[in-house]
Amino acid sequence: MKHRLHLWGWSLPGLLLLAGLVVLPALLTLPLALLHFDGVSAPRFAGAENIARLWSDPLFWQSLSNSLKVLFISVPLRLLLALGLALLLHRNGPGIGIGRAAALAPGVTPDIAWALIWLFLLNPLYGPVALLLPLIGIAPDAWLTQPGVARGLLSFMTLWLIGELTVVLIAARQELGNDVYEAARIEGASAWHIFTRVTLPLLMPVLVLLACRDAALSFQTSLTPALIITKGGPQYGTLLLPMYAYQNGFEYLRFGYAAAIQLALFVITVLLIAVQLRWLRKWAMQGR
Amino acid sequence: MTAGLVLDAVSVELGGKSVLKAVSLHVAPGERVVLAGPSGSGKSTLLRAVAGLAAVQGGSIHIDGRRIDTLPSAQRDVAMMFQSYALFPHLSVLDNLTFGLRARGSSKTAADEQAAAVAATLGLKQLLARKPGALSGGERQRVALGRALLRQPKALLLDEPLSSLDAQLRTTARAEIVRAHTGSAAAMLLVTHDQAEAMALADRIGILKDGLLQQLAAPRTVYARPANRFVAQFLGSPAMNLFEVRLALDGGLWWKNARLADAVAAAPLSKGGAATLGLRPEHLALPGSRWAAASQSSAVLQARITGVEAGGDQQIVWLEAEGERVAARTEPEWVARVGELVPVTLQLDPACWFASEGEGLLL
């Protein structure tokens, strides 16, 4: 009993913070979306006005499309990279700990910190990465003028956030055991055959799960770099959904409308995961 | 060129520890050699060395005259059945069976045809579409066996193939392995720690201890004429009784303070010498037992009955003499009275004599 009390004692502050900062605002989103509220004057009831306005707001559709584009580029690439790293790092050997730590480190670095580092790296005048861009045929300041390049860079930056994916995949690979791999070797399977016919299908359930989680997370993790580095530009090219909500709420003080955007984001996330689950599960069943 | 699988002075080290020490053996095409030994004796390592899963540090391995210990697993023309079966959980039985053929570039139709033939002999036809998770233990075992047989490898390696089955299934599965292998030209090397399995499956049994091959001979020979004390005690349940005996100057045979016989016809020890007398429990005849076979040379030991283990087709009578436990085997009807002192006839004709110094068999 005393032990229980201790547990509650230690976790209560964290739980309170979580409730106050995450759960409560999340729950308040729905009622807030039904109001006109600028944070100064008294809120007015808006009914479905905010939500209806989403339909006719070109910037909403633009930001949704941007978010999806970033997601469709970065999520598969992140999974692929993490899978590759996991297959390199799942064995035990000298220096492997350093490799695993290096894979995990960017993921535990605060968003704002790495976003600022990228801002420096991409500076068209002296940023080392920007100066390398011409090597692949991109002007060092193209990300400031071309929406597509800016979105591409934004997706590229998030490719470093694969620490957790890699750790989970390393664990999943180690779970598979050696026997089937030894059997496959004796049966004469090449490395590629083993990868496509053994490793990939056996890891598929974990990959499906990670794809869903990463897609949901992708909407959120892309906010910070968009806010710090590209600020939604050029030409709304990196205006992502969470950023549009942020601007509406905290720059234009349209809290009701911001809540409606968040609500849309939530619904879209749920839909996206549902579709992915169905589609990937089907593929995992037949795709052999 | 020697046909079949030939191991010549094969040594294997794992993590700096010597696991196999210059093991030599030969398995002819179509022959079944069973390696038995306690855990850690190196028997599984030997299989893994042949399969290419463990590196060989010394000696060589040949199949049909072709040296294979320097080749990758895939090129050795061996198949292996794992203790865990190592079936691919995401593939159907059919795909498990044909995995090797498909990996080697066989067309799907050709591979499926071969699989159908093997599935028919192993009774897997109805299961081809199922996944391993939906199979019973015995069915999985047959799939693993089928997968190993399908490519018709030159050497067939089976690592404890029956240890995950329950006792009932094990006996039928044993017969199944023999049936599936009969007519095949594959040299079969099977590893087990179960001596009954070893006796039942083997054309020849090899006994391993601490990485050394102790004896390699027909099951009957290994049982009746074990090469040394270790083999004598490893095979048989209960193990062979060992008596440290001396031959007195007047020709009498003594064990501790008991005079067993006034004279011994054929004993490989001189007067005043010592040796170890090994007798299987069935060679200790209890008074009135129907199983007491005639023996030209015999000795008598006074022993007290301390316990009886009933078995359906036999019984083990535990005796105590000279402060040691001795086992005798009789027919199940023989009435044993615990506590009774009985004269036990030691049949010396089938006895094994081991040197007192060292381990080896004298006669």
pTM value is: 0.79
Give the model's pLDDT for residue A2: 63
Q: Could you say which of B51, B104, B147 has the minimum Cβ distance to residue A188?
A: B104
For tokens 């989970």, the residue is: A168
Q: What pLDDT is stored for residue A285 in this prediction?
A: 63
pLDDT tens digits along B304-348: 999 999 888 899 999 999 999 999 999 999 988 899 999 999 998
Query: From CA A281, how far away is CA A275, in angstroms rounded?
Result: 10
Chain B nearest-CA distance from A195, in A, is 12
Phi, psi of A80 (to 5 degrees): -65, -45
> Does B71 lie at the interface with A, CB-CB under 8 angstroms?
no
Assigned token pair, B40: 């850690």
Interface subset of B 139-198, CB within 8 angstroms of A: 147, 151
ipTM over cut 0.85: no
Going by C-alpha positions, the residue among B278, B277, B269, B235 that lies closest to residue B251 is B269
Residue from the list B51, B91, B103 with its beta carbon closest to the beta carbon of A188: B103
The string of pLDDT tens digits covering residues B113-133 is 989 988 888 888 899 999 998
Q: How far apart are the C-alpha atoms of A69 and B77, rounded to whole Å?
A: 51
Tell me the average confidence (pLDDT) per consecutive run of 10 residues in chain A, 288 residues long: 76 91 87 81 79 85 88 91 91 86 84 86 83 79 78 84 89 89 91 91 87 84 79 79 86 86 88 80 59
Beginning with the edge strand found earlier in the chain, give each strand of the sheet holding B341-347 in spatial order. B284-285, B341-347, B298-310, B315-321, B324-330
Which residues of chain A does B84 touch, with a Cβ-Cβ cutoff of 8 Å? 177, 179
Indicate yes or no: CB of B99 within 8 angstroms of CB of A187: yes
- For the beta carbon of residue B136, count every other beta carbon within 10 angstroms: 11
Per the listing, tokens 């690592």 go with B159
Contacts of A179 in chain B (CB under 8 A): 82, 84, 86
Angle at A11 between CA A10 and CA A16, to 5 degrees: 125
Residue B200: its H or E element: helix B195-201
Distance of residue B13 Cα from the nearest chain A Cα, in angstroms: 19
User: For residue A242, how many other CB atoms are within 10 A of its CB?
Assistant: 21
Cβ distance of B74 and A186 shorter than 8 Å: yes
Residue with tokens 């002999």: B121
Residue-wise DSSP of chain A? -HHHHHHHHHHHHHHHHHIIIIIHHHHHHHHHHTEE--SSSPPEE-TTHHHHHHHT-HHHHHHHHHHHHHHHHHHHHHHHHHHHHHHHHSS--TTHHHHHHHHHHHHHS-HHHHHHHHHHHT-TTT-HHHHHGGGGT--TTHHHH-HHHHHHHHHHHGGG--HHHHHHHHHHHHHT-SHHHHHHHHTT--HHHHIIIIIHHHHHHHHHHHHHHHHHHHHHHTHHHIIIIITT-STTTT--HHHHHHIIIIIS--HHHHHHHHHHHHHHHHHHHHHHHHHHHHHHHH--
Q: Which of A186, A190, A197 is facing B78, going by the closest CB pair?
A: A186
CB atoms within 10 A of CB A42: 8
Within 8 A of B114 by CB-CB distance, chain A residues are none
What per-residue confidence (pLDDT) applies to A126?
Answer: 85
Question: Which A residues 148-207 touch B at CB under 8 Å?
Answer: 177, 179-180, 182-190, 193, 197-198, 201-202, 204
Cβ contact B53–A182 (<8 Å): yes
CA torsion sign for B198, B202, B207, B212 is negative
CA–CA distance, A121 with A123 (Å, rounded to integer) = 6
Which regions of chain B are under pLDDT 50? none
Selection from B186, B183, B188, B185 nearest residue B206 by Cα: B188
Closest Cα in chain A to B97: A187
